[in-house]
Structure 1
Amino acid sequence: MASEISPPAPGRAGRTARGIARVLAAAGLAVDAYVHAHLADRYDAIVQAVSQGTLFRVEAGLAALAALLVLAWRRPVADAFAWLVAAGGLALLLVYRYVDVGELGPVPNMYEPVWSTDKKITAVAQVVTLVAASFLLLTRRHRPGRHRR
């Protein structure tokens, strides 16, 4: 029977680094949420079955929820949710910036081949969130007494 070796518990520096990463992830998500909520009404006229404004509001809501979870819940699932929201938002931003996908079922054509200031800010915020959430996921502590069998 092989014994499992868990990494040493992080000291004060490790806790500080993880705390900073949580704040950075939440801040990036908050910026993402704000920009999408702020711009949503401008995109209400772009409609297939659902408007682009509605999709912006959904992104804003998911980003706001992820920001709260990454700060308050401090569990790997919250960190993973934050990572997924940022990664999904960034992927869609880049696809609709560089590829004219057209309408996809109920989703309107959201192709916009320019780098507006809001788009740049959102992209940077999502990258910051991805880096911070990746750090949180890769440095998470294993609790003593919880061994996999």
Structure 2
Amino acid sequence: MEWIYYDSKTGNVARFMQKVAELTGWTVQKIQPDMEVQHEGHLVTFTTRFGEVPETTRDFLQSARNYLLSVSSSGNRNWGKNFALAGEKVAAEYGIPLALKFELSGTNEDVNEFIAIIKGKHYGNKRRSKELDFAQ
């Protein structure tokens, strides 16, 4: 059983997570203020402004970073080099491997790729492994 913690502002990440949950039965939990994390899991967030990490995600990372096995991020390809940049910034700042970058609410292919990455890549890895960092 996997745990996925997600942050969504416009609903794109929430729609992505709903597709993942329907296909896998994994526990997906929207980040809430002062949320206490008790299970290792994966973070999925959005990118805001011009490639920034949302404040709600940053607040969550303050208490949950030691529980996170990977980070994935949503963005819009129209932002060019800032596309889904929040995931790269979280990976660099917190030492959490970047698993996937996807556009808006993701395609079915993105959803399947995310599931495959989580199922097959993080088991047995050390948390700071670069093995997942292929999304760039």
TM-score range, shorter chain: under 0.3
TM-score of the pair, normalised by structure 2? 0.28
Higher strand share: 2
Higher helix share: 1
